[in-house]
Amino acid sequence: MNKVQPKTLSGFMELLPNEQVLFNQMQDKIRASYEKFGFLPIDTPVIEASEVLLAKAGGETEKQLYNFTKGDSNLTLRFDLTVPLAKYVAEYYNEITFPFRRYQIGKVYRGERAQRGRFREFYQCDIDIIGDGKLNIINDAEIPAVMYETFKSLGLENFSIHINNRKILNGLFEAADVKEKSVDIMRTIDKIEKIGKETVIAIFKDDYKMTENSINKIVEFIEISGTTDEKIEKLQSLNIDNELYLKGVEELKEVVKHIRLFNVPEDAFEIDLSIARGLDYYTGTVYETFLNDYKSIGSICSGGRYNDLAGYYTDKELPGVGMSIGLTRLFFILNDIGLIKTDKKSISDVLIISMVEDLSKSIEVANQLRASNINTEIYFDDKKIKAKFKYADKLKIPYVIVIGEDEIKSGLLTIKDMNEGTQEQMSIEKVIEKLNK
């Protein structure tokens, strides 16, 4: 028989079980953190009608789409979880209770050029809070609290949530009389970390023909530094008499105040006036999150406030605030730099190895352990004892229980700690106590 080569498509992450266990634990922790803040799960289809999914899309995105026809239908695989959320909220508007706090964890598809660390199928883990007409600014402070909880639960220590407010930037541009160039200017400011201040000023002058006064105002703004409170003070003392600007500063101040109330420590967040994000989508608070020791990776969790979630589906005003973690890429990066922290490396807590042919006692012990919620596996195959232990070792199962004639007679079990290399004899009750600790 001719064999077909079993091959996974490039750009599609497929893990061996030991790594999948770690991936799933990360996903579980993200989900638990989202649920701790009361976000509700939704699960939308991977496939949507193209006219629905692409109601707003265009440009760059279109090229990357997985798009096809089936029968009369033009279908597209979802490329993010935001458009499906907009569809969902517009579709079930009358049945949803607002403010609608939802999370969704699922795969999305983008046919990007395959390269190391880039994936065509990847998990996004999104939370959003959608208001019906309006949405309290405190929600903008709770999102960073969720980010903090989430990354702490993943065992990350040295990360920083960068916060800005788009109103400040937009107001500043109005005040500096360069509003019509704001998109270009923001794009340039966005690159300041990469290209440096001098180049930014040169672009302002030569490309955008900005006046010196305008440039000074913006540079003065960009150069604001200091502690979080100093930054807010400087923003207030810049004497920019623009309503939008002042509103933005007020919002930022309110967000910072409440982030602190949520017990997010001072070193885990900062005001970063250089981040702009999503040029036409975000309208208020914006977030990016960096691993301080690995800034070159870019933001590992981003989001912000928007005025209008679903304008292309409905007339209802649906403001929201949210954030997204690209889990597949994050896992890849953390795995690469050795930052994956987990409490459990295996699914099974214990492997039972029998030294006798009759497996009755092994099964009886497994039944008792499983009834106590201990993940238990029995090695059934007729192999040498060494091979059985090797199996536990390869699967990183932390404990092995050996059952032979002696154990059956005495009723005591021999339990081996695979990490310590030690072994003890104890009753089944003691084993349960030990493994449930």
Residues 48-77 within binding reach of a second copy (CB under 8 A): 48-49, 51-52, 55, 66-71, 73, 75
Asked if 342 interacts with a second copy (CB under 8 A), we say no
Edge to edge, what strands does the sheet with 47-49 contain? 47-49, 73-77, 67-70
CA 151 to chain centre: 9
Residue 5 or 296 having the CB closest to a second copy: 5
Say how far residue 312 (Cα) sits from the centre of its chain: 26
How far apart are alpha carbons 232 and 51 in whole angstroms? Answer: 44
Least CB distance to a second copy at residue 380 (A): 4
Interface with a second copy (CB under 8 A), residue from 282, 313, 331, 332: 313
Residue 407 found at the interface with a second copy (CB under 8 A):
no
Taking CB under 8 A as the criterion, which residues in 351-370 touch a second copy? 351, 359-360, 363-364, 367, 370
- 412 binds a second copy, rule: CB under 8 A: no
Least distance CB 41 / a second copy (angstroms): 5
Closest alpha carbon to 107 in 69, 144, 135, 79: 79
For a second copy, which stretch binds (CB under 8 A), given 196-204, 297-305, 346-354, 423-431?
346-354
Order the strands of the 159-165 sheet from edge to edge.
Answer: 40-41, 100-109, 121-130, 320-326, 302-306, 285-291, 159-165, 269-271
Longest dimension (CA), the chain: 93
Pick out residues in 172-211 that bind a second copy (CB under 8 A). none
Site for a second copy in 104-163 (CB under 8 A): 107, 109, 111, 121, 131, 134-136, 138-139, 142, 149
Only one residue has tokens 């919620």, namely 373
Q: Is 278 in the site for a second copy (CB under 8 A)?
A: no
Q: DSSP letter for 331, please.
A: H
Interface with a second copy, residue 419, by CB under 8 A:
no
The only residue of 57, 96, 222, 246 in contact with a second copy, by rule CB under 8 A: 96
Q: Which stretch binds a second copy (CB under 8 A): 89-97, 196-204, 245-253, 330-338?
A: 89-97
Q: Which two tokens stand for residue 119?
A: 């994936």
Q: Is 224 in the site for a second copy (CB under 8 A)?
A: no
Q: Of the candidates 212, 280, 382, 420, which one interacts with a second copy according to CB under 8 A? A: 382
Q: Does 317 bind a second copy (CB under 8 A)?
A: no
| Selection from 27, 44, 23, 46 nearest residue 35 by Cα | 27
Q: Which residues contact 51 (CB under 8 A, 6 or more apart)?
A: 74
- Considering only residues 224, 347, 355, 428, which one is a binding residue for a second copy as defined by CB under 8 A? 347
Q: Rounded CA gap, 289 and 302, in Å?
A: 6
Whole-angstrom distance, CA of residue 257 vs CA of residue 267: 15
50 Cβ contact partners less than 8 Å away, ≥ 6 residues apart? 67, 74, 75, 76
Give the one residue of 29, 87, 162, 388 binding a second copy; rule: CB under 8 A. 87
Please give the Cα distance from 123 to 125 (Å, whole number).
Answer: 7
Q: How far is the CB of 28 from a second copy (least distance, A)?
A: 10
Q: What is the CA radius of gyration of the chain?
A: 27
Q: Least separation, in Å, of the C-beta of 193 and a second copy?
A: 33
Q: Is residue 295 part of the contact set for a second copy (CB under 8 A)? A: no
| Residue 21 or 238 with smaller CB distance to a second copy | 21
Q: Per CB under 8 A, which region of 92-100, 179-187, 235-243, 423-431 contacts a second copy?
A: 92-100
Query: Binding string to a second copy for residues 4 to 43, with x set by CB under 8 A, is what?
Result: xxxxxx--xxxxxx--xx-xx----------xxxxxxxxx
CA–CA distance, 371 with 197 (Å, rounded to integer): 64
